[in-house]
Amino acid sequence: MADEASNVELLKPAYKDWGDTKGASVDSWMKVCSDNIAFGSLAQGAAPAANYLTAYSSRETLKGYFEGLARDWEMLDWRTNQYIAQGDRVVVLCHCTWRYKKTGKVVATPKADVWRIADGKAVEFYEYFDTAQLHAAVV
């Protein structure tokens, strides 16, 4: 149980920073991630205009995800609602609202982030959100 609590505590400051800075706290995420994080997104790069919402296999390349978000999207709202931990996994339930800068269209969606933590670092991450809204916003 102590590991579950420490895994949640590893993530809480990064989520708080993310919401407080409207998505400008990339360094907080980089500190959480291991060098060889397996990172994925439900969007899987399917929307050419947001092809950075895809899979990454290292903390270094993961910077492309955050660069794409900062370039193309404006965070309007972020709410972290719940942390659920079991073993080495943490699920974080959120709600977020973003505006796609090129079209002005807004995406407001529930979001679930699934993490696996090992040795005090995130080694796996996968995000789930309403990809239909994403696709509608970028066209």
**pLDDT per position as a tens digit, 81-96:** 999 999 999 999 999 9
pLDDT computed for residue 48 by the predictor: 78
> Could you tell me the pLDDT band of residue 139, with boundaries at 50, 70 and 90?
confident
pLDDT computed for residue 1 by the predictor: 52
**Residue with token string 């709410």:** 79
**Residue with token string 């390349």:** 61
Query: For the whole model, what pTM was predicted?
Result: 0.94
What are the tens digits of pLDDT across the range 93-109? 999 999 999 999 999 99
Instruction: Give the residue, 20 or 139, on which the prediction is more confident.
Output: 20
pLDDT computed for residue 66 by the predictor: 96
C-alpha to C-alpha distance for 4 and 7, rounded to whole angstroms: 5
| Mean pLDDT, range 62-72, rounded to an integer | 95
CATH number at residue 32: 3.10.450.50
| Mean pLDDT, range 17-24, rounded to an integer | 97
C-alpha to C-alpha distance for 23 and 75, rounded to whole angstroms: 6
The distance of Cα 76 from the centroid of its chain, to the nearest Å, equals 15
Beta partners for residue 117, in sequence order: 122
> How many domains in the chain?
1
| Mean pLDDT, range 66-73, rounded to an integer | 96
> Could you tell me the pLDDT band of residue 40, with boundaries at 50, 70 and 90?
very high
Q: Range of 17's domain? A: 2-137
Contact between 50 and 127 (Cβ < 8 Å): no
